[in-house]
Amino acid sequence: MSVCGLHSAVKPRFKVKPSNMTAYEGHSLMMHCIAIGDPSPTVLWDKNNKVDALDFRRFQVICVDCCVYV
C-alpha cells in the first residue's frame, strides 16, 4: 500500500483590511485586520515604512484568536 500526501499552500490575503484612520494626540485608536492563508500569515505593523519603529510604551499589537490583530 502506498500513501501520498498533498499540501497546498494558500497565499496570504486580508479577510478584513485595516482602514486608513487619523490618530489624534492624546486619544486612543484601534485598528483591526484579519489575515488568512496557509501557512497562517504573520501580521506586522510599521510606522513610516519601518517595522519595529513603534514605541511600544505607546503602541500595543495584540493577537486575538491567532488571526485577529488589534
**Any idea where the domains of the chain sit in the sequence?**
11-16+30-69
**Confidence category of residue 70, pLDDT binned at 50, 70, 90:** very low
Question: Is the pLDDT at 3 greater than 70, yes or no?
Answer: no
Show the cell assigned to 11: 497565499
Q: pLDDT tens digits, residue range 4-45?
A: 666 678 899 999 888 888 888 888 888 888 888 888 887 777
Mean pLDDT of 33-59: 78
Contacts of 53 (CB under 8 A, 6+ apart): 46, 47
What is the pTM (predicted TM-score) of this model? 0.56
Task: For the chain, give the number of residues.
Answer: 70
**Confidence category of residue 53, pLDDT binned at 50, 70, 90:** low
| DSSP code, position 27 | S
